[in-house]
Copies of this chain bind each other. A is one copy, B any other.
Amino acid sequence: MTTQDILRAAKACAPKLAAAQTDAKNQALLAMADALLECETDILAANALDLDAAKDHISPVMLDRLRLTHDRVAAMADGIREVAALPDPVGRVVSRTERPNGLVIEKTAVPMGVIAIIYESRPNVTSDAAALAVKSGSACVLRGGKEAFRSSNAITQAMQKGLEAAGLPAALVQLVQDTTRQSANELMTATGLVDLLIPRGGAGLIKACTDNAKVPCIQTGTGICHVYVDDSADLEKALAIVENAKTSRPSVCNAEEVLLVHEAVAPAFLPPLKKRLADDRAAAGKTAVELRLDEKAAAIIPGTPAGENDFDTEFLDYILAVKVVKDVNEAIAHIAAHSTGHSDAILTETPEHADLFTRMVDSAAVYVNASTRFTDGGEFGLGCEMGISTQKLHARGPMGLEELTTYKYIVRGNGQVR
């Protein structure tokens, strides 16, 4: 099927899912999970072909992301079951007004319709995204990365068997068969067929969507996250938070990329920080964090001099740019100029500084005395997430089930005219 055919089929069957009751959707999700397990042999065989084709031209880390195993397939099925257990976001009456003329107006959560998701090489995104879409009442059109195509296709076919076993159309979950750039562009420009486009991936993909999308689109993911250590910070806690934000998972968007330190505490804070992030880690056989220092920081500890772009780079690696600032206002100004609006933190024991920072920093998540790594659907109590929005329209931060719905006004009267 062409991408256009796939989109038309999705649009045609979306109303069926939109009208489905919670029980019917949950049964479909459980059937999708069962079908994944039943089709494990097919899925692993397809994955073996993907791995074989990719092994010479992608990195070991990427190869590991691509690899499926019995346990990983089981984890995918469990992921779908967890979505089934979450509350249904559809049908909730967000607000209700009775007007003086007797009209009753209910603002009611309803499905989006057709959600398109463009993602890269992790095959488990195929089942995660499909589960969230189905639970939120929308058909989904998935466009995965080329390297994982056979795996994603086998996963999609399994989920389609589950949908059909539950009496719902297979076309509610479809994978685009064309993995060239052309199909991504078709999704971006499918006005009238795609109600929401979610690109999940690197800065290149996000920029392509910003530049080319004519359908409503949510930017996800790019995170140049800052941690600012104020003059009143508890330095022991600060060491632990900076270490966690930088090193617990450097490849993700909520990892810290830039450290700002108040000049009054820089001499006391930076030497133990260097010991903890670089020296101790190296001694323990872990990857040492490379510190890229502005002039003031370089006067206190040794490290790489920060280059022009180091305060505007999402390293996604064991690299941390460090800058000494005069006060909380300079920290706020630096963040305003360099943040991608994802997650930024202040570590302080001064309530006024915490208030100023949370009021003035315009990011999806603004932290006081905690690691930026918490910006995550699960950690926020949303259950699961489709991605982290870094734009301000519609959804900001982790996008859970509610953020995948829209609303309509249902207005009931008995003959009112205006």
Contacts and interface: CB of A to CB of B under 8 A. Distances in A.
A393 interface: yes
A369 B406 contact: no
Interface in A236-280: 237, 240-241, 243-245, 248
A181 interface: no
A418 B406 CA distance: 32
Contacts of A112: 392
Given A97-B380, A406-B392, A244 B368 contact: no
A105 interface: yes
Contacts of A122: none
A400 to B, nearest CB: 11
Interface in A68-123: 97, 99, 103, 105, 110, 112-113
Interface in A327-367: 336, 354, 358-360, 362-367
B417 A248 contact: yes
A367 B411 CA distance: 5
Given A19-B359, A370-B411, A415-B240, A196 B393 contact: yes
A152 B210 CA distance: 32
A413 interface: yes
Contact of A392 (B99, B195, B248, B380): B195
A113 B211 contact: no
A418 B380 contact: no
Contact of A369 (B191, B359, B370, B412): B412
A259 to B, nearest CB: 15
A25 to B, nearest CB: 15
A234 interface: yes
Contacts of A415: 234, 237, 240-241, 369-370
A65 interface: no
Interface stretch (A36-44, A52-60, A312-320, A371-379): A371-379
Interface string A158-191: 0000000000000000000000000000000001
B370 A416 contact: yes
A391 interface: yes
A368 B413 CA distance: 6
A196 to B, nearest CB: 6
A410 B354 CA distance: 10
A214 B216 contact: no
Q: Sorted from nearest, which 9 A-B pairs have the closest CB atoms?
A: A370-B413, A244-B417, A237-B415, A216-B393, A394-B394, A392-B406, A373-B418, A370-B416, A365-B409
Interface of A: 15, 18-19, 97, 99, 103, 105, 110, 112-113, 191, 195-196, 210-211, 214, 216, 218, 234, 237, 240-241, 243-245, 248, 336, 354, 358-360, 362-371, 373-375, 379-381, 391-394, 396-397, 406-418
